[in-house]
Each structure stands twice: as C-alpha cells, then as structure tokens.
Structure 1
Amino acid sequence: MKKLVSLITLLCISLASLAQPSNITGTTTLKQVKKLSLYKTLNGRLIEVATANTDQNGRFAFRFTPEYEGFYCIGYGPAHYTTTTYKFYFKGNEDLEIKLNADNYELIKTNSNAIKTLFKWDQALNEIANKSMTLAGSTTYVDFFPLIESFQSTLASFKKNPKTGNKIFDAWFPTIVDNDFAYCAINFMYMPHPAHPSKDEYSSYYENFNTENYFKEDLLKLPYGDRFISNLVLKKASGKKNITKETLIESIPLDVLKGQYILNFIERSTNIVDFNKLTNDYGKYLTLPEQKQRVEAMEIKLAETKAGVPAVNFTFSDIDAKPIKLTDFKGKLVLIDMWATWCGPCRAEEPFWEKLNDTYKGKEIAFVGVSTDQDKEKWEAYIKEKALKGTQLHAGPTNPLSQAYKINTIPRYLLIDKKGNLITPDCPRPSDPKLIELIDTWLTN
C-alpha cells in the first residue's frame, strides 16, 4: 500500500510539473495595429510562435502552452523593435490581460505575481528605455546621462526581495534588473543622436561600466540578449586601436557567447568562400542546436554562389537599347560591376575601373557595368557624360543578379570564368591590388 501511495504521489507531482496553457487577452488603442505576434526567446533572439488579428474593437487573444519557464514577448512591429515589443514571464497557467498604447502597455489583470513585479519594473524603466531605443530622437547625452545616474541609485530597491512565490523568478530578478538597465544605458551610445559625448564627457556609470559583469550565459535567456552581446563587444573595444573581427571575437569570455556573436558575421556572408572560412575558423564555438541550424540554413542560401557552378545568366539593355546576355561573353573572363549613379563608393572606384580596362585591353576579359538605378534616364545621361569604359548595361534595382547573389549593398563585383562559371560573387574592388592578382590567375587558366 505504501508503495502504491508513493507511486501515486510521484505521478501527481509529475503531472503537476507539466506546463499548463496560458491565456493572454488584450486590447489596443492603436488603429494601425491589425496583427500582433507572440514570440519565444531562443538564444537571445525572438522567434515568432503565434499571431493574432485584432477585431474591430482592437481586441486580441492568445492561448499557448509555454515550452519553458521564462520570457515571452508580445509585439506589433518587427521583433527587434524594442519600443513595440513587451516582455512577460510565463511558466504555465497564467491569465494575463493587457492594453497596448502608443508607447507602453497597461496591465489590466493577471494571476501571476512574477508578471506583476516585472510590470512595475518595466514601468519604472519606461522613460529610459524609450529614450534609449528610439531612432532619430531628440535626446542627447546631456539629458540622458543624468537620468542614468539618478535611476542607478534606485536599482537596489527594485532588486530587493521580490517575493512573488516563484523561487526561480525571484532568484533571477536582480539579474534581470541589472541587465535591462545596462542594455538601455549602453544601447543609447550606439543609436544616432544629434550629439555624442567624448570620453571625457562620460558620466560615472559609463566610466565605471565593466562589461565582464554582463558577459554571462543568462544573456541567452533575455529577449534582447543577442543585441546586447554586440553592444558589449563594441563597448569593450571602445578606444582601442587595430580592432579586427578576430580581436572582437576574442574579447568575449564565454565560448557559447562567441558562437552567438559569430553568427552575425556568418549570416552576412555573401559568398560560400567567406562562409567556409568563417565556419572553419570559428565553427568550434557553434555548439547550440539553433546555432547549427542557422549555419545550415545559411549554407543552403549560399549554395548557388559556390565557385565552379554556372553563373546566373542575364539579359540587360545597353545605352542603345540593345539586349546583352552573359553568354555573349563566353570565352572571356567577365568582371561585373554592380553600381548606381547615386552611390558615392561606386563613383570612387571609377578611375580604377577605367585603368583596369586600359590594362587588359585586348585580353580575354570583358568589363561589364550593371546599373541598379531606378531612374534609367539619369543613368543614360551619366554614361554619356562620363563615357565610362567597358560594356554598360541597365538592370534596375530589382534584377536577377541582385536577387541571386543577395546584393544588398553596392558596389559589388562578380567574376565569371571563360566557361560562364562563377569564380566569386564578391571579389575585391578595382582599387584593391588583389583584384589584379585574381584576374591574372584566371586569365592563365
């Protein structure tokens, strides 16, 4: 009988420990908000798990079962817009009712003391958070630094004995307060403002800020943790010379945080060569399942940029409206310059482009300029005025090359071999001597 009672007790404890559904209801006064998203936190980033449309009265609702105990967020803009995304603490069996306003939310009711405690903290931090996260705001360090210094003195009172009845939350809450405040304070330094301080104008908080206090694995449980890692790296590198990607990565004390930071570089890769170098050099830090999944997804996206695969064919018109195809240059190396008349860095490369054309005149290489200008007439006038060398074509902002090779910034230079196969979708610029080395190597192949 005792064994049976013990078994039943264990079963009841096990059933009780399973997460229960949580219910979220709310309204919004914002007429433009037609859909809201519910996000989970995964490795310091927000991942959408559900959406809800608002009705004609601005009402919305979510019902979900938490995957873990911790932060979930509700927002009505892009996930990284902190000013339109609000964090809540769920473990299961919470009932939450909120009202979303222009720059904040109201807690109408909840059965969770953890959510109530977090709400009080978020309301207290709201002014600083909004000033810290708002793009193109009028706030400068002159009025922001005094706010930081004044508010810092109150942190201890917020962290002291939350007593929500949730031992996990209560133990973690002081860390939440410290990180929330520090993230707002440091993020402000890397947002555009009408004026920025010199190091001599830093207030006490910034002078004494120690990044090592925040480079902790807890960052991966915070909705903004991924962005905070990047800010901490910048803060730690502030004032140092000869900063490189390698030194930035090495400045992070924890390997798991190194992996998270490295993903920023990997996901900005524009070709498989750079991708492979990054994963070969730093793959040992990519240990979390989601980190590995993001790397695999990026590799799939870059598959078409592998050296030796057929380059994406195109047909664009020249200045005389004659259609020109990539296959027209078969038997020659093809250097493609993706550019636009409004692009300053593109124009800065023009003298070097012209010199390359002269250097390789009569060689088995074609120089092809592909304009992404929206205004074709402006491009035509520019070409006639400058008399640019090489074959000059107009493609417009949305074109097969830009889409296939993920060309989001210009100038970009692509090199294609004599058989029409891709050498690289992101080769050195004409001003870089390494481009001549690359061309010479492939001309002899």
Structure 2
Amino acid sequence: MKIRVFFILSFFLAALFASAQGKLTIVQGTMTKEKAQSIVIFDVMYGERIELASARLNKNQEFAFALPGIKSGFYYLSDQNRRSLARIYMKQGDKINIAIADDAYQLMQPTPENRILKEWVDLSYPVTQMSVFPRKDTATYTSFFPTLTAFLPKAEAFKKKIITSNASFNALMKKSIDAEIEHAALKFLYTPNSKHPAKEDFVPYYAGVYQPHKYADGAILNFAFGTDLVRLYTNYVFTRVKLPDPMVKLKLEDILPYFGNDTIRGIYVEGFMGSYKTLETFTAEIGPFKKYLVSDSMQARYFRMLKKVSSFKKGDMAYNFSYPDINGNTVTLASLKGKVVLVDVWATWCGPCRAQIPHLKKMEEELRDKDIAFVSISVDEEKDFEKWKAFVAKEELKGIQLYAKGWSDFSKYYDIRGIPRFLVFDQNGKIVTVDSPRPSQPELKELLLSTLNSKAAAGIAESK
C-alpha cells in the first residue's frame, strides 16, 4: 500500500510542478508484459527514436507521466528492452490511458487521433508483421506479394476515413501509411528469406517505389523507421533499378542525387561514414558533403569517425581548419604550408588564456624572422563577435587571429574541452603535437625551432 500511495503522490507532485511550465500531456496506464520493470517513451528526431522519458513500474505494473511542452506527433512506448513498441499520437493537453500487454495494446477513451491510429495498426498488422525479422512464420515472397497486393486497396480506402478536426494529424497519418507500406515492402526484400524473387516475380507495387528526388518533403523524418527506410530504399535503387557495375564502389556523389531533401542526404552521409579506414579518403569523400550533417548527433558521429581514422600521432596529417580572420578573409591550415604553425585555442573570457598573451607576444617578437605562423583560434560564441574584435584591437594582438564561433569543428576534432590549448604542426601540415607546452614555458620555443630546423635540414639533404 505504501508503494501505491508513493506512486500516486509522486505523479501528482510531478504534474503540479510541470503545470507551471506549460500545458501538460498526461500518459498513464499499465504494462503487463512479462519481465517488464520500467517504461520508456520515445520521441522521433531525424527518423530515429530518441528517449524522451522513462519511469519504473509500480508493484501493480502501473505508470504515469506528466509531460510539458509536447510537440504534436508520433511517440513510441516500450519496456526497458526497447523492443515491441506501441505507437501513440500526442499533442499538448492530451490525456492518454493505455494498457500494454505482450503483443498488443488497448487505449481507454482514446483521442480521435489515437482511435484512427489504433485502427490502422490493427488493419496493417498482417502486412507489417510479415516483414519483421526474425519472422514468426515461414513467409516467402510467394505469400507476401499476394498479401501486399490485396492490402493496398484497403489502405487507400482507410486513408479516406482519416477525417478528424486535427488537419496536421490527418496529413501526417496519410503520409505515414504510404511510408509504412513502403517500409514493409522493402524490408521484406532485404531480410533473410528462404526464397528470393526473380525480376518477373515482382508485383506492380514495386515499379512505383523508385521516384526521382525521393522524400523531398522530409515527412519520413517524423517516423521512427525513417532512417531505416532511407537505407532500404538505397539498397533497392542500386540492386533493382540502377544496377551499377558491381566492380565499381559506389560513392556519395553517385547516391545523394537520388534524394530530394538535404536532411535525408545527411542521414545517408552519416550511415556511409563507417566504411572509411584512412583519414585521407574520409576527408576527401565525406568533406564535400559535411554540410548535410545538420543535427548534433550527426555532427557528433562525424567527429567520432574522424577521430577513429586519425591517431593524432606525430607525422599524421592534421585537420585542415578553415576560419575567417579579423578582416573576414578565410585562412586554412593548407594555406600556411611551408611554415611551422602554432595554434592557440582561446577565448576572451578565459583568464588562463589572457595570462598567456604577454608570453605569446614575446615569443612572436623573438621569432618574427622565422617561418612560423602564430595562429589564434577564438572559441568565443557568435554573440560575442564584436567583443572579440574589440579585445583583439585593445590588446594589439599580433599573428593570425581567427574566429570559430564557439566550440566548432577544430575543437571537436581534437577533443578540446579546456583552454588555453596549444598545438604545433609542421611545414607540410602534419602533426608535431596536439598538446604542446604553453608560451610561458621555454620548451615551446625549443619545440618550434627544432621543428623548423629539422625540416630545413631535411630539405637540404634532399636537394643534394
């Protein structure tokens, strides 16, 4: 009884707290799945599930959430194993009561949107479940293709029934139906089967799957299977439609034009990154398409993969940064080839960074006749741009002053989390060290000169 009281009290305290933050969406119910210990609610972002909230079930296998600021759309509920998802539609102010069992769920007093959604889930189950792997039956294309063909008129008829007062839901649900059928049709093809169809075995539905500039409206990004659908569609295009030379490796420039949406191109680029083993090929082939990596998760994976193919050892190629200087001119590491490069990562708000400025100025003066480029990369945020410019002018900072608009790609690439940070690169743009001594330490000047002299000696030896 104490657990029950605590559960109810906790829920209503949470609701009371959250009510001050906006209109609440209430989700409560039971989960009677075997071995279920907790429940997880997933949102959808860029075609993938992301965890929104989780809670342990009480002794009666009950749960409750009070969610402020919910954006309208599809959400998914699962146990701690994050499989066998129940899909619901939520908008601000909804009150949803759901009972989730092992293979099904029921909604008590469902909203109009969820009544439609549940009808569709039940109607489409025979088709969608045939594409799930591992399968619970021995379905092959000889049974799936007729089932799919017979189902298509039912799906079209169902779309005509989607008439609620929520116009955005109506449009989203119709697009979801089309996407779910395509996902099931393609997933069936690309999961293990005991029998595989020949070209003449395909039913007419598949002839309409390929479309130039596919997914241009980006609607599939609202569905948890969106990213998987992008992968399946690409497989279909290049195994059933375009049939490229099997001896020639497909590149991103061959694939991306088939998508009509930049974010979806980014999803494909993200999935493609794992195929690279060297820094040179990764930067050459991924670099031109980095602009499509728009989400934080895409950017994070980009830098994880970049670090994976980079060891940061002495002699490895350095990251080719590209930032504007104080006059707006772009400076890259490649543009400084022929010079030893000292990079100082700093910010105007950083006390230890400012403490190094007098020592850096002194070193610049002592080495002004040497082929050494002193590059300062500011991680001041974009809102502080004018503050940075004023600081550079007031302190009469020399060298090459660059502005990175915060913790940008250079910092992420070298995993710089504390400043100041000093890095040294040689005349050919290769790493000497990514964590050098500071200007206040005599070892830095010695390192710069030894790098300069070693390359000069190597050049003399090569010329003889």
- TM-score normalised by length of structure 2: 0.57
Q: How far apart in 1 are the matches of 2:53 and 2:114?
A: 20
Residues 109/145 of structure 1: CA separation in 2 closer, same or farther (3 Å cut): same
Name 1:142's counterpart in structure 2.
142
Cα distance in 1 for residues equivalent to 2:112 and 2:166:
8
Percentage of pairs with the same residue: 21
1:198-243 Cα deviation digits (max 9, x unpaired): 2211122123433448523111111111111111111111230226
Q: Which runs of structure 2 are paired with 1:147-226 in the superposition (5 Å)?
A: 147-212=147-212, 215-216=215-216, 217-226=218-227
Report the CA distance shift for 1:129/1:213 in structure 2 as closer, same or farther (over 3 A): farther
Residue 426 of structure 1: aligned partner: none
Cα deviation for residue 248 of structure 1 reads: 2.8
Could you tell me which residue of structure 2 aligns to residue 308 of structure 1?
314
Q: Which residue of 2 aligns with 1:377?
A: none
Contact 1:21 1:94 in 2 (8 A): yes
List aligned pairs for 1:170-319, cutoff 5 A.
170-212=170-212, 215-216=215-216, 217-239=218-240, 240-242=243-245, 244-246=250-252, 247-267=254-274, 272-299=279-306, 302=308, 305-308=311-314
CA contact (8 A) 1:233 1:252 kept: no
Instruction: Flag the 1:75–1:308 CA change in 2: closer, same or farther, 3 A.
Output: farther
Q: Deviations over 1:301-347 (max 9, x none)?
A: 6387335389xxxxxxxxxxxxxxxxxxxxxxxxxxxxxxxxxxxxx
SS at match of 1:149: helix
The letter for the 1-side match of 2:239 is S
Report if the CA contact (8 A) 2:99-2:105 is conserved: yes
Distance 1:77 1:237 in 2: 37
Question: Alpha-carbon deviation of 1:77?
Answer: 6.0
Matches of 1:39 and 1:278, distance apart in 2: 34
Q: Any conservation in 2 of the 1:31–1:58 contact (CA below 8 Å)?
A: no
- Structure 1 residues 192, 90: closer, same or farther in 2, change over 3 A? same
8 A Cα contact 1:266 1:278, kept in partner: no
Query: For each residue in 1:229-285, what CA deviation from the matched residue of structure 2 results, as whole angstroms up to 9, or x when unmatched?
Result: 111111111230226133233332333211111101225656655543443132132
Larger Rg: 2
- Unpaired runs of 5+ residues, structure 2, are 1-20, 317-430, 432-461
State the partner residue of 1:27: 30
What does residue range 45-444 of structure 1 map to in structure 2 within 5 Å?
A: 45-76=48-79, 81=83, 84-110=84-110, 112-137=111-136, 138-212=138-212, 215-216=215-216, 217-239=218-240, 240-242=243-245, 244-246=250-252, 247-267=254-274, 272-299=279-306, 302=308, 305-308=311-314
Matches of 1:209 and 1:24, distance apart in 2: 37
1:72/1:297 CA distance change after superposition, 3 Å: farther
The question of whether the paired residues in 2 share the 8 Å contact of 1:41 and 1:72 is answered with: yes
Aligned counterparts of 2:156 and 2:144: Cα–Cα separation in 1: 20
1:89, 1:155 → 2: CA distance? 19
1:101 CA drift (Å):
2.4
Residue equivalent to 2:334: none
For 2:126 and 2:112, the matched residues in 1 are separated by 23
- The whole-number CA distance in structure 2 between the counterparts of 1:308 and 1:77 is 45
TM-score (norm 1): 0.59
The corresponding residue for 2:11 is none
